Structure 1
Amino acid sequence: MLAATLAAMTLAVPVGAARAAVTDAFYDRAFMLAAHQKCDLFEPQLIAALDAAALQARNAALRAGTPAADLSAAAARARSRASRTSCDDSDLSRVRTRVEAGFSGWSRAARMSFPGDRSAWRGDRYESKAIGWRLVQDSATGGSPVRFGLAGTGPKATTPVAVVSFVGRPRPYSARLVMRDRDQAPRVWLTGGGLPPESVRRSFFAAAAQAAEPSLLPEGARQGETWTFSTEAAEALAQLDPRESFVIQFLFRDDSVAEARFEAGDFAAGRAFLAMGAI
C-alpha cells in the first residue's frame, strides 16, 4: 500500500509520543510536501505520489477516530516546521534521499487498490486507445450492477461516469449523484449510512447518457448505459470525509428511483495516484 511505502521515511524528531501512528504518518507526509514547496525537492511524479500518500494517511487517521481538527493542527505544525527548516539541512537531505529511493520502484506501479471500510477504489495508470476505467468502485441497485469512477484513455484524461446494467427494467430518463452539501452541513455526517437528510444534500445531474463501451461494463454484462457527470461533481466528491457515503440515483418515468450506494473512501488519493501519469 502507498501509505506503507513512506512509513519509515520520517525526520529525526517525531510529532510526539502521544500521537497515534496514523497521525504521525500524516504529519510526516505533510512536512515533506511543505518542504518541497519551499525547496523544490522532488520531480512532479514523486510529488503526486506524496500527495496520494498524505491523503491516504489522513483518511486512515480519520477512520481510526482522530478528530479532523487534530489533523488540521498537525498539518499546520508541519508547515511551520518546514518554514523553519533550511533547504540545505542535513536531516532534510537524508530524508529526501530515502524518499527518492523508496519511490524509484513504486512510481512504476500501474495499478493500485485503495481499500475503505466497506468498498475499494481501484486505480489504473495504463494508457490505451480504448476508453477504460482509471479509477472505479463497484456497487449495485437491486440485482443490477453499477460502477462509478473516472474513465478515459489514460490517467490524465478522465471523465466522471456511472455505468449501469439494469436487469428487467426500462432505461431511466435521468441520473444524479447525491452527497452531503458541505456548505449546508459543514460537519461530517456518519449516521444513517453516511448520507445526511435530503435538506442538506447536494445533487449533480448527469449531463449526458449513451450506450456503454464494452470495456466499462460490469463483469458478465452484455449491455449498459454510461451516465456522464461534471468535473465539479468529482471535485465535490474528493472533499468528502472518507467514511461518508454518496449515491447514484436513477430516475424512471413511473416516478420510481433506483439507488446505488458508494463509499467516498480514498477517491482523492486515487486521483492523486492517476496524476503520476501513464505507465
Structure 2
Amino acid sequence: MLAAAVAAMMAGLPVGAARAAVTDAFYDRTFMLAAHRKCDLFEPALIAALDAAALQARGAALRAGAPAADLTAAAARARTKAARTACDDGDLNRVKARVEAGFAGWMRAARMSFPGDRSAWRGDRYESQAAGWRLVQDSATGRSPVRFGLAGTGPKTTVPTAVVSFAGQPRPYAARIVMRDRDKTPRVWLTGGGLPPETGRRVFFAGWSHAAAPTLLTEGARQGEAWIFPADAAEALAQLDPRETFVVEFLFRDDSVAEARFEAGDFAAGRAFLTMGAI
C-alpha cells in the first residue's frame, strides 16, 4: 500500500528528485498531524495511519540520502505553518478531504510490508486466539532461523519477542538485544557493522523464555524457543535511525555467543500501523 506508493514515486527519478519527493511527503504528513493537534480534524484510526505514513516517509527520505537535520527543519516548518493556519481555512479543509479519501483504503489494510535497505518489517492487524506475529523481521544465526518483532494475539496486545530454532546445539541460558545507546552515542552510527563500540551500546535482556508456539516459527521449523523482552526495548528500537542495525544475541554456558542482525528500518512506522487496532 503506502510502501508501494513510495517506491513507485521514487522509481525512475534522479537521486535528488527522489530525495525531494519523499522529503516533501514527510513535510505534508507532519503538517497534517500538527494541524490535527490544533483543530481536531481526524478520527483516531486515521491519525494512526497518518502517523505511520509520516514515519515511513521519514525513513524513505533518510535511506534516499536526506540529512536528518533537513528533516528536522522540514518538520519544524510544517508545525510552524500549521500553527499559523486557521482551522476554518479553505485550503486546509480541502486537504483534509483529500487525506480522508486517500487513507480510506490504507486504514482497511490488514497486512502491510515496511521495506528497508535489506530487510522488511511485516505488519499484521488480525486478531487470533493463539499468539502470532503482529510485526516481524526475519534473520538467522548461522543456519538457525531467527525472527524478531512484536508478538501477541492482537495488534494492541504485543510483547517484543525473539524466536530461534537451534538445530543440534545446547540451549542458550540468556538472550539480549544490543543497539546504539542514544544518550551515550547521540549521533547515528552506520559504520563498523552498524553498532558503535561497546561503551556506546544499550542492552536489553530477555526476562524469560518458553517453547515457541507453532504460529511463531519459521516455515518448516518444528520447534523453537521464544525469548520475551521488556516493553522498553521496543520503545528504544523505535527511536533508532531507520538505517541502523541492532543485534539479538544468544548466550551459551561455554561463553560462546550466537548473534542475529536486524535492520531497524521502519519499526516505528510498523508500530504506528498496529495502533489502528484489529481488523
Name the TM-score class by shorter chain: over 0.9
In 2 relative to 1, CA 114–244 (structure 1 residues): closer, same or farther, beyond 3 Å?
Answer: same
The answer to whether the 8 A contact 1:147-1:162 is kept is yes
Structure 2 equivalent of residue 118 of structure 1? 118
* Greater mean deviation of Cα atoms: 95-104 or 235-244: 95-104
Q: Going by fraction, where is helix more abundant, 1 or 2?
A: 2
| Total equivalences in the alignment | 270
The answer to whether the 8 A contact 2:163-2:212 is kept is yes
Structure 2 equivalent of residue 170 of structure 1? 170
CA deviations 1:67-109 (Å, max 9, x no partner) are 1111111101100000000101111111111111112222110
Q: Secondary structure at the match of 2:140?
A: strand
Structure 2 equivalent of residue 184 of structure 1? 184
Q: Secondary structure at the match of 1:91?
A: helix
Deviation at 1:276, TM superposition (A): 0.5
- Matching residue's letter, 1:82: A
CA distance in 1, matches of 2:218, 2:261: 16
Structure 2 equivalent of residue 242 of structure 1? 242
Deviation at 1:194, TM superposition (A): 1.3
Structure 2 equivalent of residue 33 of structure 1? 33
Deviation at 1:4, TM superposition (A): 6.3
The answer to whether the 8 A contact 2:3-2:114 is kept is no
In 2 relative to 1, CA 47–272 (structure 1 residues): closer, same or farther, beyond 3 Å?
Answer: same
Structure 1 equivalent of residue 268 of structure 2? 268
Deviation at 1:193, TM superposition (A): 2.1
Q: Secondary structure at the match of 1:31?
A: helix
The answer to whether the 8 A contact 2:148-2:162 is kept is yes
Q: Secondary structure at the match of 1:140?
A: strand
The answer to whether the 8 A contact 1:6-1:99 is kept is no
TM-score, with normalisation over the residues of structure 2? 0.94
CA deviations 1:175-221 (Å, max 9, x no partner) are 00000010110000000121111111110000001110110011111
Percentage of identical aligned residues:
82
The answer to whether the 8 A contact 1:5-1:102 is kept is no
CA RMSD of aligned residues (A): 1.6
The answer to whether the 8 A contact 2:6-2:22 is kept is no
The answer to whether the 8 A contact 2:172-2:250 is kept is yes
CA distance in 2, matches of 1:193, 1:95: 43
TM-score, with normalisation over the residues of structure 1? 0.94
Deviation at 1:154, TM superposition (A): 0.4
CA distance in 2, matches of 1:47, 1:259: 37
- Matching residue's letter, 2:219: E
- Matching residue's letter, 1:190: L
Residues 107-146 of structure 1: pairs in structure 2 closer than 5 A: 107-146=107-146
What are the ranges of 5 or more consecutive residues in structure 2 without an aligned counterpart? 8-16
CA deviations 1:132-183 (Å, max 9, x no partner) are 0000000000000000000000000100000000011011000000000101
CA distance in 2, matches of 1:221, 1:164: 10
Structure 2 equivalent of residue 197 of structure 1? 197
Segments ≥4 residues shifted beyond 4 Å:
3-7
What are the ranges of 5 or more consecutive residues in structure 1 without an aligned counterpart? 8-16
CA distance in 1, matches of 2:4, 2:259: 35
